[in-house]
Amino acid sequence: METTTFAATAGFPHPALVGVTGAEETLAVQGDPHAVLPLASVTKPLTAWGVLVAVEHGLLDFEDPAGPEGSTVLHLLDHTSGLPFEGDRPERPPGERRIYSNAGFDLLAAHVAEAVGMPFAEWMAREVTGPLGMTETDVTGRPSAGARSSIGDLLIFGREVLRPRLIPAALRDLALTVSREGLRGLVPGYGTYADNQWGLGFELKGAKTPHWLSDTLPPQTAGHFGAQGSFLFIDRSRDLAAAFLSGVPFGEAHKRIWPALTEEIVTRYG
């Protein structure tokens, strides 16, 4: 593992913890890989993995009713249930629009907890973070945005997405494929897009610009960023995953450096 400094983070006024991994091992780290910081919405891909494990175990199905009337587990996973960012009153019928929803992911976790017969955090610890050895990850907060973790653990999860052990590769492929193409929707902090592509718990780069990922990354690049200045992305074309933690609210400084940083990562380690 290389200890490095990324040029794109020069002048960034906050901590900038960065990690890069291939499918088998960590390639590079900037800062303390064991520092535990809030993930905010980077929690969602972890939560989605817990849902996929439950699907693989036969404990629930994507078409199970969940959330508002007419909504299913799949609608909650791909942000098409109609629920708003926060709150329980739907803004649209299910499947009509991509509405990014914390409330939907919290409902999703509650549905899984009922299906598996234990609290969702316990399920996650038993079936996801425990088996993967993510000892620095705390999933007892909100399933939508409340986990805390380290760069080291996020890279472990990145390797799981690249070479899944907890679910079949075909289920991983489904999670990282566009679910319901052509839906309009908002990426918080960036704007509304006519085709706001999303997989199951993972945002897909698609043709969105401006974006937090470099415009040169493939449309299939999957990931998530969070309101506490965090991101995780998976570039399967390069067999690469990378994570960023800062522990401070997302703002203009993050928007300034992230496209250049993600470009620097794939150029140096792709």
Where the chain has pLDDT below 50, the residues are none
Cα–Cα distance measured from residue 27 to residue 269, given in angstroms and rounded to the nearest whole number: 8
Write the DSSP string, 6-55: -GGGTT-SS--EEEEE-SSSEEEEES-TT--EE-GGGHHHHHHHHHHHHH
How far is the CA of 260 from the CAs of 10, 67, 144, 210, 253, in angstroms?
11, 38, 27, 12, 12
Query: Which positions ≥6 away from 131 have C-beta within 8 Å?
Result: 165, 166
CATH for 163? 3.40.710.10
Number of domains comprising the chain: 1
Long-range own/partner contacts, residues 61-64 (CB < 8 A, 24 or more apart): 64/111, 64/115
Q: Which domain holds residue 228?
A: 2-269
Q: What is the DSSP letter of 139?
A: -
In the prediction, which pLDDT does 165 show?
98
What per-residue confidence (pLDDT) applies to 178?
Answer: 98
pLDDT at position 82: 97
How far apart CA 47 and CA 139 sit, in angstroms, is 9
Phi and psi dihedrals of 8, rounded to 5? -65, -20
Give strand pairing partners of 244. Answer: 18, 231
Q: How high is the pLDDT of residue 177?
A: 98
Structural element, H or E, at residue 175: helix 169-175
Q: What is the pLDDT of residue 2?
A: 87
